[in-house]
Amino acid sequence: MNKGTLKTAVVYYSFDGNCALVAEAIKSRINADVFAIKTADEKKRTGLGKYIWGGRQVFQHAKPDLKPLSVNIDAYDLIILGAPVWAGSPAPAMVSFLSRTPFDGKKTAVFCCHGGGKGKALEKFKALLAGNTIAGEIDFNNPARGNTEALRKKIDAWAASLEVLLL
Ligand SMILES: Cc1cc2nc3c(=O)[nH]c(=O)nc-3n(C[C@H](O)[C@H](O)[C@H](O)COP(=O)(O)O)c2cc1C
């Protein structure tokens, strides 16, 4: 297997665009198919209400309904999963996706976006993927607010480490 034949999918959820930015940056670094998880409820929330609404879902272990997403994970050698941190956990939409998608014995890697307090989100993310190989993990602090060149370099280095591990 080499860079040319390694099939990679990036499956992410993003509420405010940060994880979407990371997913697209990964796609421009490695040849990956990108899939966005969307909740059935697409109402935009802002301000304090957004944190109360989202935090409540985490504390209630909610698994929100999702829009249909057609991704055949068995068609990929590596599946990179990305989600924002909500109340110290991967956002509920990712929990929903993983609870509905049979993942077993797959090679995966995880990323999360946060605002500076990721807590144990990556550990929780990896726990949701028990039974699979986790080839890498990385986190980003609100990348949409930062320097695009720095983001590109960070993703380049991470993608290179994943490729080395997977070759
Ligand atoms: C409901 C909610 C809860 C959040 N909880 C946390 C948190 O516990 N720690 C943190 O660092 N950031 C937290 N954030 C900030 C997001 O993780 C951060 O802005 C992230 O970059 C958003 O990714 P997105 O733009 O892809 O949605 C929270 C955001 C929301 C909406």
Question: Exposed, middle or buried, 155 (CB in 10 Å: 0-12/13-18/19+)?
Answer: buried
pTM: 0.96
Per-residue pLDDT of the chain (167 residues; tens, 9 = 90+): 445 568 999 999 999 999 999 999 999 999 899 999 999 999 999 999 999 999 999 999 999 999 999 999 999 999 999 999 999 999 999 999 999 998 999 999 999 999 999 999 999 999 999 999 999 999 999 999 999 999 999 999 999 999 877 76
**Which atom of ligand 1 is least distant from the CA of 140?**
21
**Which atom of ligand 1 is least distant from the CA of 58?**
1
CA of 14 to the centre of ligand 1 (A): 10
**Taking the CB of residue 138, how many other CB atoms lie within 10 A of it?**
19
Residues with CB under 6 A from ligand 1: 14-19, 50-51, 54-55, 84-88, 113-118, 142
Alpha carbon 159 to its chain centroid, in Å, reads 14
The whole-number pLDDT of residue 1 equals 47
Find the angle CA(63)-CA(65)-CA(67) to the nearest 5 degrees. 135
Q: Which domains does the chain have, with CATH numbers?
A: 8-166 (3.40.50.360)
Question: What span, in angstroms and rounded, lies between the C-alpha atoms of 143 and 155?
Answer: 11
In whole angstroms, how far apart are CA 96 and each of 85, 143, 148, 152?
A: 14, 24, 30, 29
CA of 34 to the centre of ligand 1 (A): 21
